[in-house]
Structure 1
Amino acid sequence: MTTLSELDEAVRVIRHHVPAPPTVGVVLGSGLGGWGDALADLVKLPYAEIPGMPRAAVVGHAGFFCAGRVGDVPVACLQGRAHLYEGHPLAKVVFGVRVLARLGCRAVLLTNAAGGIHHGFAAGDLMLLIDHLNLMGKNPLVGPNDDALGKRFPDMTYAHDPRLLELARAAASEAGVPLREGVYAALLGPSYETPAEIRMLRTLGADAVGMSTVPEIIALRHMGVPAAAISCITNLAAGLTRRELDHAEVEETARKARARFSALLSAWVRRAGEDAAARSSAS
């Protein structure tokens, strides 16, 4: 379990470079990191310079902490994430989003690349996660609980924050970007699923499958920070096409979807930031 002191040491280093607290945190998944480079007043810090931050080693995950603005909204952004399948302890997999929470983010928006399971999905679609299945066999809250981070048994009914989901729908309408909705199944990886496993996941109610995001959602829920996520459907899952699955296809599809994704994410960040500011002033 990550300790509060480890998180606060990372926060101390980041605040030396970026003293103003961010309002919205963003995590950028495979092939989607370019959005962070377009932030206004951009400050970039390699993960290697942040104490405790695990290195992002997967192709398509740049490994930079970015800070800047989208409109008037202060943003902290993770360009890439660590994955459980790389051999990191789960506490390290969620370290980045816990840092975003300790920095003061009042909402965290996550993204990922995922395989489409729903028969109506096509490569390049964007899907809003309305719920998830944790099939990784791991949970970031296992071990001694630090009450300073969150309570022992957090409720997961609204792990995907309803207000942020509504703001995502409004942002998609504003940006003119079609937005699917569905349930995301998280598996350990790094091997892709078999056709039989995809049939199982569909029976369980999954619409997309990936190897990330769910531990981060759980950790943020534990800390009481509203969170929600969008998947870029970068390929159809095993057995739905005759092609073998390949990570290069994931990156290429994410690249082609970048303009639509960026427009949607920027509109979502603006709305989330404005909503957080309005709720803060009302209280």
Structure 2
Amino acid sequence: MSATNRNENGVEERPTRKDIEETASFLKKQTSDRPKLAIICGSGLGGLADIVEDRINIPYKDVPGFPVSTVAGHTGQLVFGKLSGKSVVLMQGRAHVYEGVPIWKVAIPIRVLQVFGVKTIFVTNAAGGINRDFSVGDIMVISDHVNIAGFAGANPLVGLNDDSFGPRFPAMSDAYDPDLMQLAKKVGHELGLDSILRQGVYSFLVGPSFETIAECRLLKTLGVDATGMSTVPEVVTARHCGMRVFGLSLITNKCVMEYNMREKANHEEVLETGKKRAKDLQNLVSKMVASIDGI
């Protein structure tokens, strides 16, 4: 797959199945690892790669067709290696729709990893807390999502469907694997994280502006617990092609709900909270990986 496929009018085109297979073949030539588990590291969470052993780093810019992130906290590379003695691949950073990347292109790495042989994917992100019972630094196990952006057509599956990946109308009622959610609770308890481990609904808005007060109040009314600018396009794509999904949100800021509050959301707070909670996230994810059979 070339870095960019364009038609005769210069419009960027979606990759074909053959293009995806060529990129997966490229990656197979770079490493002998054949992981069944992939982990996407969100804003400030790239430190998970530090505990991966026997690492092989492949920058996104070197991978044909991969979108490259321009955001602080997103290194932009694939990391192959061993975590808890098991073969894994980490996406250290991700591209976002707000960077001007088409939503279908944001999802390209998921299809490449699926063709590569990945069966299970962990998605992590930094999110603003909508639920007033959540505190900055809490870790939320994602039980469901609301694709707010999808209400306006922002869905990676819009367009012609490739039946070789999945059905035209995939179900999302089982997007997040219940067994993995239960495992997270068990492992979190063993690690003494009960006081900061939550479970809830995540919502996806395109960004890059943070939410208005009215928008935050709307999300609360809809039953959303945390909101962010990523993850859902990847989850939808992963479920479309039959991958098992587990999601974590690190609550890095509390969404402003009152007009008389002086607080404002900012990306620096997101990164700082990620640094403070990095060790707990690393312990949770690595112990979960150690406990999963068949990867």
Q: TM-score range by the shorter chain?
A: over 0.9
For residues 194-222 of structure 1, the C-alpha deviation after alignment (integer angstroms, 9 at most, x for no partner) is: 11110100000000010000111100000
- Structure 2: 5+ residue runs without aligned partners? 1-13
Residue 30 of structure 1: how far off its partner (Å): 0.1
Residue 142 of structure 1: how far off its partner (Å): 0.5
- Name the counterpart of 1:256: 276
For residues 121-141 of structure 1, the C-alpha deviation after alignment (integer angstroms, 9 at most, x for no partner) is: 111100000000001131111
- Name the counterpart of 2:157: 141
Counting only pairs closer than 5 Å after superposition, residues 165-244 of structure 1 correspond to structure 2 as: 165-178=181-194, 179-239=197-257, 242-244=262-264
**How does the TM-score come out when normalised to structure 1?**
0.94
SS in 1 for 2:131: coil
Mapped partners of 2:257, 2:84: distance in 1: 43
Give the share of equivalent positions with the same residue, in percent: 42
Equivalent of 1:246, from 259, 266, 274?
A: 266
Stretch of structure 1 that moved more, 56-65 or 101-110: 101-110
Mapped partners of 1:73, 1:23: distance in 2: 9
Mapped partners of 1:244, 1:103: distance in 2: 42
Assess if the C-alpha contact under 8 Å between 1:65 and 1:77 holds in 2: yes
For residues 216-251 of structure 1, the C-alpha deviation after alignment (integer angstroms, 9 at most, x for no partner) is: 110000000001110000000123653111101100
Residue 36 of structure 1: how far off its partner (Å): 1.1
Counting only pairs closer than 5 Å after superposition, residues 62-211 of structure 1 correspond to structure 2 as: 62-136=75-149, 137=152, 138-178=154-194, 179-211=197-229
Alignment of 1:8 onto 2:21: yes
- Name the counterpart of 1:281: none
Amino acid at match of 1:14: L
Assess if the C-alpha contact under 8 Å between 1:172 and 1:267 holds in 2: no
Residue 100 of structure 1: how far off its partner (Å): 1.9
Aligned residue-pair number: 275
Assess if the C-alpha contact under 8 Å between 2:130 and 2:220 holds in 1: yes
Mapped partners of 1:230, 1:252: distance in 2: 17
Mapped partners of 1:231, 1:202: distance in 2: 17
- Structure 1: 5+ residue runs without aligned partners? 278-283
Amino acid at match of 1:139: N
**Consecutive aligned runs of 4 or more in structure 1 exceeding 6 Å deviation:** none
Counting only pairs closer than 5 Å after superposition, residues 14-33 of structure 1 correspond to structure 2 as: 14-33=27-46
For residues 72-121 of structure 1, the C-alpha deviation after alignment (integer angstroms, 9 at most, x for no partner) is: 31101100000011111112111122222122112100100000010111
**How does the TM-score come out when normalised to structure 2?**
0.90
Mapped partners of 1:12, 1:174: distance in 2: 40
SS in 2 for 1:251: helix
Mapped partners of 1:2, 1:168: distance in 2: 35
- Name the counterpart of 1:50: 63
Stretch of structure 1 that moved more, 260-269 or 198-207: 260-269
Q: Go from structure 1 to structure 2 and tell me whether the alpha carbon gap of 1:7 and 1:171 turns closer, same or farther (over 3 Å shift).
A: farther
Assess if the C-alpha contact under 8 Å between 1:40 and 1:68 holds in 2: yes
Alignment of 1:268 onto 2:288: yes
For residues 128-176 of structure 1, the C-alpha deviation after alignment (integer angstroms, 9 at most, x for no partner) is: 0000000113111110011111111111111111122122222212322
SS in 1 for 2:272: helix
SS in 2 for 1:257: helix
Mapped partners of 2:118, 2:184: distance in 1: 17
